[in-house]
Every structure is written in C-alpha cells, then in structure tokens.
Amino acid sequence: MEIQESKIKSFVTKYNSEKKALISILQDIQEEYNYLPQDALRIVSETTGIPLIDIVGVATFYRAFSLEPRGRHLVTVCLGTACHVRGGLKILEEFEKKLNIKAGETTEDGKFSLQTVACLGCCAIGPVVVIDDKYHAQTTIRKVVPILKKYMTKRERK
C-alpha cells in the first residue's frame, strides 16, 4: 500500500500541526490505512516537529494503534475473568480454528485480524467478542460461525 504524503499532511494540518493533537492525527491515519505505516509516522514527525521516537512511543502505548497491517475486520475476544470462566478461551480457540490463524495474526486474505484483550469492562454480558466496534454479547462456540458470516460477502459464506 502506497502512502500519500499529501494525505498524511492533510491529517496534520486538519489539527493545525499541534503536538497536542498527535493521537487524533494517528487515529485518522489508522482509519485510512488500517495501521500506522512507518512512512506516515516519518511524515508526521517532519511536519509537526515531534521526534519520531515520541510518535512511536504513543503509537505503541495505546492498543488501538497498530504498527503492523491489520485485517479489514478486527476480532477482539475478551479473556477477562468473567469472560474466561464463561468459556472465553474456548471461544478464542474456535475463532482461531475458523479463521485458521492464532491470536495476534491476520488471515492471508487480509480480511480478519484476531486479538485478545484482558477486559472490555462489560462483564455482565460476557463472554464478549468485539468486531469493528460491534459488541457480540454472551458469545458461545455455536455463535462463532454466524458472527463471522456477518462480515463475509455472500460468495465467502458458502
């Protein structure tokens, strides 16, 4: 994927090149490219005057950001205590099996990335799976395939 310097600079100027807007700038880049490409971070550094090491520090501190390409759909399985005791690990294993990847990986076609989180803070509706900011409550192994099908094209569902 080619990084458009003008696009990155437009994100920076949108926030008047202010250092306090770094997270907002990174969010815009992440939304555009689905991760934070190195070249984009260099352009942000050059344009804002923020040292690249500081930008990378922010990007690696927040879990919402990724320095590696992610799939079009981000699948997050909660493994917090409440979700864990209700089968969170088995649900994760089912997603790994159906997607043919392990947590932390992306499918070959770039469609899905799978990750875990220690707690989503919605224990009452656990186990919880989040895909693209959509919460799937009281998930069971049997719900994994129907959940995934919502994010597949008609041809892929067959």
Domain segments of the chain: what residues?
A: 5-61, 73-157
pLDDT tens-digit profile of 29-70?
999 998 999 999 999 999 999 999 999 999 999 888 999 999
For position 3, what pLDDT does the model report?
86
pLDDT tens-digit profile of 65-91?
999 999 999 999 999 999 999 999 999
CB 33 within 8 A of CB 1: yes
Q: Judge residue 94's burial from the number of C-beta atoms within 10 Å of its C-beta, 0-12 exposed, 13-18 middle, 19 or more buried.
A: buried
- Report how far residue 109's alpha carbon sits from residue 38's, in angstroms, rounded to the nearest whole number: 22
β-strand 134-136 against 73-78: which pairing, if any? Answer: unpaired
Q: Across the chain, which distance is largest between two alpha carbons, in Å? A: 51
Q: What are the two backbone dihedrals, phi and then psi, of residue 156, each rounded to the nearest 5 degrees? A: -70, -25
Q: Taking Cα atoms as reference points, which of 152, 94, 81, 151 lies closest to residue 123?
A: 81
Helix or strand holding residue 114 (H, E): strand 112-117
Six token digits for residue 97: 């099996």
Class level of CATH domain 73-157: alpha beta
Q: Taking Cα atoms as reference points, which of 132, 105, 137 lies closest to residue 121?
A: 137
pTM for this prediction: 0.78
Six token digits for residue 147: 């959940």
